[in-house]
Amino acid sequence: MPESFFILSKDNLELAKDEVIAIAKTYDRFSKSKSFSNLVIIQSTTSWEKIANRATFVKLSGQILRKMSGLFLGEDNYEVLKNAKTFACRIVNLSSKQFDIQGLESSMGDMISKLSSAEVDLKNPEIIIYLIFTNQQNFFGFSKPFKNPKRPKKIRKHPHELDWKLVRVMINLIGLKEGETVCDPFCGTGTTLLEAESMGIKAIGVDFDEKMYQITKENLDANGFKSKIIKGDFSHFTSIEDKFDGIVTDLPYGTASKVSENPQELIKKFVEMLPRRKKIAIMCKKGFEKKLKMNPSKTYDIYRHKSLTRTILIK
Ligand SMILES: C[S@@+](CC[C@H](N)C(=O)[O-])C[C@H]1O[C@@H](n2cnc3c(N)ncnc32)[C@H](O)[C@@H]1O
């Protein structure tokens, strides 16, 4: 079974790790994983490109060719360069040992140039050869230059809007697939709808505020997106339950956005209405979740500033 590597940004590391693992499992439920610091190795039929294309916090990724205890590589390791004209070598040191990384990269480049017909091109290589060191194991792998997916435009913003990265991570954590539908019953400026549709997932948004309804509509139109937006109370989602596969939402905090009633009461009501057999990711102000009868399978705290920590609840 192919193995891929993902080097993750260290901000929100737990979230970042769970996200890549969740994406792999979305397409192959037998995927296995292990991690060494901010490196995650995934054994799955889901390709590294597919995971990296959806993931939010991946810095580097590629396919593992070999696990190694030393530094020795044979000619057969360069099969991957068979049809490539250019390559570059990259060493990633996650171990506690000190290495002369530049020196090692350049001698590796020299050695590979002798063993293959490909030439070193540091600016625009067709293939990047990776050596990743950890305290436990070393990995030899490769990658191809990876274009980040095109971001949807957000022409109208609002102070309460959520960072798109957190929305994307929530969509990934609950394993929604292309063609499925997500519902955001407190859609605000439409961040969930934009993110979902840019990932090939359909979306339905609900917001009771006329202004938010208009902003979302304009944001969708600016991208030519077809997600549905309904102006109404969040409880509307209960009448369209057969039309979506999961809920991803950021609940009102009672600060920057309008709210129909005390946010804690509203959240309680909302949680009581949640459908049983759907994939659910809810974001709320930390503390609000304490009185909820939700039994999340996992929670994540995300510190924003001294008076705001958010909590993501996954069910
Ligand atoms: C925290 S904001 C959501 C922000 C959104 N994630 C974004 O990125 O723009 C909460 C939203 O809930 C909406 N809201 C508050 N009470 C509501 C209710 N009873 N029914 C529907 N929407 C409501 C507000 O208008 C606001 O847009």
In this structure, the answer to whether residues 114 and 203 fall within a common structural domain is: no
Question: Is residue 124 included in any domain, yes or no?
Answer: yes
Q: What is the rounded average pLDDT of the residues 146-171?
A: 93
* Position 82 in a domain: yes
**Across 257-286, average pLDDT:** 89
Pocket flag, ligand 1, residue 105 (CB < 6 Å): no
| Ligand 1 pocket mutation pick from 165, 208, 249, 255 by most atoms within 8 angstroms of CB | 208
Domain count, the chain: 2
- For 171-178, what is the mean pLDDT? 98
**Nearest protein Cα to ligand 1, atom 5:** 188
Domain final residue, candidates 91, 112, 143:
143
Any domain includes 184: yes
At 94 the pLDDT is 95
243 shares a domain with 172: yes
| Protein residue whose Cα sits closest to atom 27 of ligand 1 | 188
Q: How far apart are the first and last CA of the chain?
A: 29
Per the CB < 8 A criterion, the answer to whether 280 and 174 are in contact is yes
Is 153 a member of any domain?
no
Residue-level pLDDT at 258: 74
Q: How far is CA 272 from CA 11, 156, 194, 230, in A?
A: 33, 32, 27, 21
For residue 95, give Cα distances in angstroms to 51, 69, 166. Answer: 25, 13, 29
Same domain membership, residue 231 and residue 300: yes
CB 231 near ligand 1, within 6 Å: no
* Domain of residue 33, CATH code: 3.30.2130.30
207 falls within a domain: yes
Residue 86 exposed, middle or buried by CB count within 10 Å (0-12, 13-18, 19+): middle
Amino acid 195: pLDDT? 98
Task: Give the domain range for residue 277.
Answer: 164-314
- Decide: 260 in ligand 1 pocket, CB within 6 A: yes
Confidence bin at 13 (pLDDT 50/70/90): very high
DSSP code, position 30: T
CA of 213 to the centre of ligand 1 (A): 10
Q: Which atom of ligand 1 is nearest to the CA of 184?
A: 6
| Residue 76 CB contacts under 8 Å (≥ 6 apart), including other chains | none
pLDDT of residue 148: 84
Q: Is residue 213 within 6 Å of ligand 1 at its C-beta?
A: no
Q: Please indicate whether residue 252, judged by its CB atom, sits closer than 6 Å to ligand 1.
A: yes
120 and 248, same domain (yes or no):
no
pLDDT in tens, 281-306: 999 999 888 878 888 999 999 999 99
Do 255 and 188 belong to one domain?
A: yes
Distance from chain centroid for Cα 195: 11
Give me ligand 1 centre to Cα 207, in Å: 6
pLDDT single digits (tens) 43-84 = 999 999 999 999 999 999 999 998 876 655 666 667 788 889
The whole-number average pLDDT for the span 175-189 is 98
Q: Taking residues 160-181, what's their average pLDDT?
A: 97
Q: Residue 19: is it exposed, middle or buried by C-beta count within 10 angstroms (0-12/13-18/19+)?
A: buried
pLDDT of residue 235: 96
Please tell me whether residues 99 and 30 are part of one structural domain.
yes
Residues 208 and 291 occupy one common structural domain: yes
- The rounded distance, in Å, linking the Cα atoms of 206 and 70 is 56
Q: Rounded to two decimals, what is the model's pTM?
A: 0.94
CATH code assigned at 186? 3.40.50.150
From CA 8, how far away is CA 55, in angstroms rounded? 10
137 inside domain: yes
Whether residue 257 has pLDDT greater than 70? no
Mean pLDDT for all residues in the chain: 93
* 179 in the same domain as 253: yes
- Ligand 1 center to 274 CA (angstroms): 17
Are the C-beta atoms of 20 and 133 separated by less than 8 Å? no
Ligand 1 pocket test: pick from 186, 204, 271 the residue with the most ligand atoms within 8 Å of its Cβ.
Answer: 186
Whether residue 94 is contained in a domain is answered as: yes
169 and 304 share one domain: yes
